[in-house]
Amino acid sequence: MTRLDHHIFSMGEWKQACLRDHCRVSITPSLNKSGQAKYHSSSHTPDITANVSAVADTGAQSNLWFLSDFLVCEFLRDNLHPISPSLTVVNSSTITIEGAFFAKLATTSCRGKMASCRPMVDVSSSVQNMYLTYESLLSLNLL
């Protein structure tokens, strides 16, 4: 098998593309206590927050966080609610979801204004980052 670098057809010829990383945003995820209360006793849900560099993925249909990072940030598997479906990505591969949690995502804009939203975040061992959806990015005033 031969691996080809990505190329773009421009000005009548194929040129090797200069790929850039996705934009990232500094985000502070924490457990949304009001969402957790429906499923767990709030006295058993610790105050956990983390600082994460998340990928701004306007094509994502679900907020998604890497399981290992979730655990390193001292969140617990007990904080996850069972989710039955897996996700399928553009190339038809499957992303297994270990569970999801009700989150509070907070950030500070470049103008210094605080914003937050309360989405569901899926947690998976199939990815390596945290990904934020278009809706979350809008709610956080980042777009």
Q: Pairing mode, if any, of strands 52-56 and 63-66? A: unpaired
| Cut 0.85: pTM above it | no
Where in the sequence is the domain holding 104, given as residue range(s)?
21-139
Tokens of 16: 């090797």
Q: Confirm whether 13 is domain-assigned.
A: no
CA 54 to chain CA mean position, Å: 6
Tokens of 104: 């509070």
List the chain pLDDT tens, one digit each, 143 residues: 455 567 777 788 887 776 666 788 899 999 876 655 454 444 455 578 889 999 999 888 899 999 999 999 999 999 999 987 766 665 667 788 999 999 999 999 778 889 999 999 999 998 899 999 999 999 998 88
The CATH number of whichever domain residue 35 belongs to comes to 2.40.70.10
Residues 101/120, Cβ–Cβ less than 8 Å: yes
